[in-house]
Chains A and B, each alone.
Chain A
Amino acid sequence: MANVILRNVRKTYPGGVEAIKGVDFEVGDGQFCVLVGPSGCGKSTLLRMVAGLESITSGEIDIGGRVVNRIEPADRDIAMVFQNYALYPHMSVYNNMAYGLRNRGMAKPEIDKRVREAAQILEIGPMLDRKPKQLSGGQRQRVAMGRAIVRQPKVFLFDEPLSNLDAKLRIAMRVEIRKLQRRLNTTSIYVTHDQLEAMTLADILVVMNGGVVEQIGNPLDIYQKPATTFVASFIGAPPMNLTPFRQGETSVPVPGSTGGILGVRPEDLTLTTGTAPEGGVRYDLTVEAIERVGAETFVYGSRNGAKEAAAVSAKPGELPPGEIIVRLPGQTAPAIGERIVAVAPRDKLHVFGADGRSRIEI
């Protein structure tokens, strides 16, 4: 039972590289916070700073009302689940879970009770005598979580715990982690680069890029109102279409702005033969590629005669300049090479300043 508060936390490595450039946020008691961002954005570093595995250059980290900057990881009352599980290979599952409790000098019967309880919750009871080597990836993952929950810590820290699992198992474990966290009601911080995991797990989503927080908030709020072009293209798959515009060039009037970046989510575009809705946007496209995934179809189109109006290459924008993605329900799609018109209504548009760092409400 604790909240975690980060106050202007910074990390500078001895070589002078600034990995974390001042991060502030608070995770309330029992909340599930997800740190998401591309690799190298500092999210893992930040988590490791909360864990105490990395030193804090400046700022404060507060766990349950206690500043933990100078406190050893073991004394911070946290438990961490690692990406590669970090199980002790020579110890049985039981001992893996009991080790941390033994080191704390807990009485044997209490250790036994906690380990068996955790094993039951995680359904690894029959495997307690096995070695990690004899377990599958998913089972190892459970043991790693078991090791965390037997401690009954104030905070769970997850460092990309699912990225070593195959896609199906990942989804199953994702749901399970969420259920477990609700059941134990323990404050959690979870690091991932997978925006889908981030969206589905988080109470609070923290989108990071280049050592700074781009946006903090409820996942759906972030999806609906991304604060920067980075967030816009990072959250949501396929990413939001981003194109630069100058006032007067498009049919999108933006009061008090001379130009900027226009964003439309692929699912908000529809194909039409008519004209754009009032104040909306219209793209004339030539179909370049089509991806059918069953329930929906992605159409990749290049803008006709828009060579000079290269699309904003929003990192990690996978799109080559000038390409627009349209997401169509079902399996019907235009043919490759066909000329199509995609439109979106005004209330589905996102407008950003020219540097992509600010959102303009229209």
Chain B
Amino acid sequence: MVENEGLRRYVAHAILWIGIAIVAFPVYLAFVASTQDNAVIANGQMSLLPGGHFLETYYKTLFVGSSGTTREPVGMMLLNSLIMALSIALGKIAISILSAYAIVFFRFPFRMTVFWIIFITLMLPVEVRIYPTYKIAADLNLLDSYSGLALPLIASATATLLFRQFFMTVPDELMEASRIDGAGPFRFFKDTLLPLSRTNMAALFVILFIYGWNQYLWPLLITTRDDMQTIQVGIRKMIVTSDALTEWPVVMATSVLAMLPPVLVVIVMQKLFVRGLVETEK
């Protein structure tokens, strides 16, 4: 029985390691490729060990850009993506926490109708409503602007639902105690609900930041100027399918760079993130 337990543990660990290898190998390969000479990759003789072009490639990627297609330095793209992802994440949190507050704590006519309308938007992601959304953005002169990148993606049913569920677990007495303590609706929100939602907001921030960071279709549509490009779109544009040679080291370096911010966010927020999803601190 005991040996059996041990064996089972080894098997489990082996499977996990295989899984990690499957996930990590392409990432490793991308990193290795970004440190090689383009010619070596092009003729298919890439080594599995990092090459000697690390600094050169990354400098070029970040500050110069690929010599072929877009010629936009990836540093700019990173900045664009960062601004977009942050605006989306923070905007979504701000809007949804307020709407959830209204839905849960205020009695107004058609409260449930409003809730259901928000709920229904779950079925309408950007891809479904892309034409009308583009039309509106265009009419509002939002093309090639940060507002255009972020605003249409900010309204979020998911986050509203999450906050609603959390708010419903806040005991009514807390609100009543606040009322007796002389805190109006705004003070109650600021002094009690916001601090209590801290971990939820952190968890949501991680999810929404990655959601915003990974947007591809919408930025592709709304931006035409190269200096407004996000990194996801930029990578795609660097891969040329025509006669020219794709600069694989630059493409790979861009991919590696594109992976870093979400990873950093997850690492930094990990503790709060897990607490936010697991803990119910009341």
Interface of A with B (CB < 8 Å)?
48, 51-53, 72-75, 78-80, 82-90, 99-100, 103-104, 133, 147
Contacts and interface: CB of A to CB of B under 8 A. Distances in A.
Given A75-B182, A86-B171, 5 more contacts: A52-B179, A80-B176, A100-B182, A103-B187, A147-B177
A74 B177 contact: no
Given A89-B282, A90-B195, A74 B174 contact: no
B182 A82 contact: no
B171 A84 contact: yes
Contact of A51 (B174, B180, B198, B282): B180
Given A84-B173, A89-B281, A104 B182 contact: yes
A103 B174 contact: no
A51 B178 CA distance: 12
A99 B282 CA distance: 18
Nearest to A75: B182
B196 interface: yes
Nearest to A144: B177
Nearest to B181: A100
Interface string B160-201: 000000000001011011011111000100011001101000
B171 A88 contact: no
29 contacts: A51-B176, A51-B180, A52-B179, A52-B180, A73-B179, A73-B180, A74-B179, A74-B180, A74-B182, A74-B183, A78-B180, A79-B180, A80-B176, A80-B177, A82-B173, A82-B176, A82-B177, A83-B173, A84-B173, A85-B173, A86-B171, A87-B177, A88-B191, A89-B196, A89-B281, A90-B192, A99-B183, A133-B281, A147-B181
Given A84-B171, A99-B191, A103-B187, A53 B176 contact: yes
B109 to A, nearest CB: 13
Contacts of B174: 86, 88
B180 A100 contact: yes
Nearest to B179: A73
The winner among B176, B177, B192 for most chain A CB atoms within 10 A is B177
Contacts of B183: 74, 99, 103
Contacts of A104: 182
Contacts of B177: 80, 82, 86-88, 147
Interface string B259-275: 00000000000000000
B179 A72 contact: yes
Contacts of A100: 180-182
The winner among B174, B177, B180, B196 for most chain A CB atoms within 10 A is B180
Contacts of B282: 89
Interface residues of B, number: 18
Contacts of B196: 89-90
Nearest to A95: B191
A73 B178 CA distance: 10
What are the nearest 3 A-B pairs in CB distance? A100-B181, A86-B173, A74-B182
Contacts of B173: 82-86
B173 to A, nearest CB: 4
Nearest to A79: B180
A75 B282 CA distance: 27
Interface string B191-213: 11001101000000000000000
Contacts of B195: 90
Nearest to B281: A89
Nearest to B173: A86
The winner among A51, A80, A90 for most chain B CB atoms within 10 A is A90
A48 B180 CA distance: 11
A94 to B, nearest CB: 14
Nearest to A72: B179
A48 B181 CA distance: 15
A107 to B, nearest CB: 15
Contacts of A89: 196, 281-282
B179 A53 contact: yes
A75 B183 CA distance: 11
Contacts of A82: 173, 176-177
Nearest to A98: B181
B40 to A, nearest CB: 57
A147 B177 CA distance: 10
A14 to B, nearest CB: 10
A83 B173 CA distance: 9
A86 B176 contact: yes
B194 to A, nearest CB: 9
A73 B182 CA distance: 8
A68 to B, nearest CB: 13
Nearest to A86: B173
A74 B181 contact: yes
Contacts of A99: 181, 183, 191
A23 B230 CA distance: 68
Contacts of B181: 74, 99-100, 103, 147
B121 to A, nearest CB: 30
B51 to A, nearest CB: 52
A103 B195 CA distance: 17
Nearest to A103: B182
A144 to B, nearest CB: 9
Contacts of A79: 180
Contacts of A53: 176, 179-180
A85 to B, nearest CB: 8
A360 B7 CA distance: 83
A63 to B, nearest CB: 13
A53 B178 CA distance: 11
B18 to A, nearest CB: 42
Contacts of B198: 90
A196 B132 CA distance: 68
Contacts of A75: 182
A89 B171 CA distance: 11
